[in-house]
Amino acid sequence: MRVWLPTGILLAWLGMALGAQLLPLTPNVIDLPQILAAPGEGAWLGYDDLGRQLADRLVIGARTSLLVSVWVVGLSLLAGTLFGTATAYHGGWWDKLAVQLVDTFLAFPGILLAIALAGLLGPGIDNVVIALTAVGWVGYARLSRAQVLSLKHREHVQAAESLGSSRWCIMRKHLLPLMAAPLIVEATFGVAAVVIAEAGLSFLGLGVQPPQASWGAMIRDGTRYMLVAPHMVLAPGVAIFAVVLSINLLGDRLRDKLDKKMTAKTGNPS
């Protein structure tokens, strides 16, 4: 698949999410005569079981998925990177305790732990962000720890230690820049995982609440009418599929390019 197609899909997703406030949308306006109406002129995605335009709700759902993805990936990346970098560079019993904590979190299936946390905290977009962040930081912590263990014995790090640089300065100037590439790739795939997770929690009723729109909630509402109004499921389902596939394809390309750059710098064959 050519790179322009997934790029165009992601740009459309971002455009819908960022432009939702500027567009004259009516996602919660009920038109009773149009209940379950098929796509047609004036409503190119049709109407749902309450007579609301699916196209408008799809745009609002794009904003919801983007908002949750940005917050969850940003907070998880920040918390996991700081935790993994600090404990791995410090070493000793701090690192052993960190490994035990990470292994404890990894012992539970991530989505099940997120469902349990969301159920305890209650429904709502804020609680979804908290639940998914509590699960998502572990992957970044493990990755950053592995990177620090392979970097902290390099010559430039030892030279900085010999010159009396503080640990925070060494981590900020000598470790984090070299860890940026794998962390960015991990964050890219993390966005796709969060889009699916948010849709799953909303499908279960643990995400955004009515009348707010979410792709997962739209699929849940449409499952009862799949035989008479399949467009209620197809529209958000295709949107999730297209966005997640596009993110993964671009993430693969980004990883390949960064691997080639690192190989060219080190001179070692992959």
pLDDT tens, position by position, 40-97: 887 889 999 999 999 999 999 999 999 999 999 999 999 999 998 888 888 778 888 8
Candidates 212, 253, 251, 260; CA nearest to 64 is 212
CA dist., res. 151 & res. 181, Å (int): 14
Helix axes 54-90, 231-266, angle to 10 degrees: 30
Query: What is the band of 265 on the pLDDT scale with cuts at 50, 70, 90?
Result: low
CA dist., res. 51 & res. 29, Å (int): 8
pLDDT at 228 over 60: yes
Q: 234-239 long-range CB contacts below 8 Å, 24 or more apart?
A: 235/45, 235/46, 235/54, 235/55, 235/58, 236/58, 236/61, 236/199, 239/13, 239/58, 239/61, 239/62, 239/215
Q: Are 142 and 102 in contact (CB under 8 A)?
A: yes
pLDDT at 263 over 60: no
pLDDT at 264 over 60: no
Mention every residue, 6+ apart, whose C-beta is less than 8 A from residue 106: 138, 142
Query: What is the band of 107 on the pLDDT scale with cuts at 50, 70, 90?
Result: confident
CATH code for the part of the protein at 4-35+44-266: 1.10.3720.10
Find tokens 């279960």 and name the residue: 204
- 229-242 confidence digits (pLDDT tens): 999 999 999 999 99
Find tokens 């080639």 and name the residue: 260
CA dist., res. 97 & res. 77, Å (int): 20
Q: 220-227 long-range CB contacts below 8 Å, 24 or more apart?
A: 221/48, 221/49, 222/48, 222/49, 224/49, 225/36, 225/49
pLDDT for the residue 270: 40
Q: Which helix (H) or strand (E) holds 132?
A: helix 125-151
pTM for the complete prediction? 0.88
Query: What is the band of 168 on the pLDDT scale with cuts at 50, 70, 90?
Result: confident
Candidates 181, 207, 269; CA nearest to 61 is 207
- Which of the two residues, 94 and 141, has the higher pLDDT score? 141
Locate 268 and state its tokens: 């070692």
- 68-80 confidence digits (pLDDT tens): 999 999 999 999 9
CA dist., res. 224 & res. 36, Å (int): 11
Q: Are 212 and 64 in contact (CB under 8 A)?
A: yes
Mean pLDDT to the nearest integer, 145-160: 84
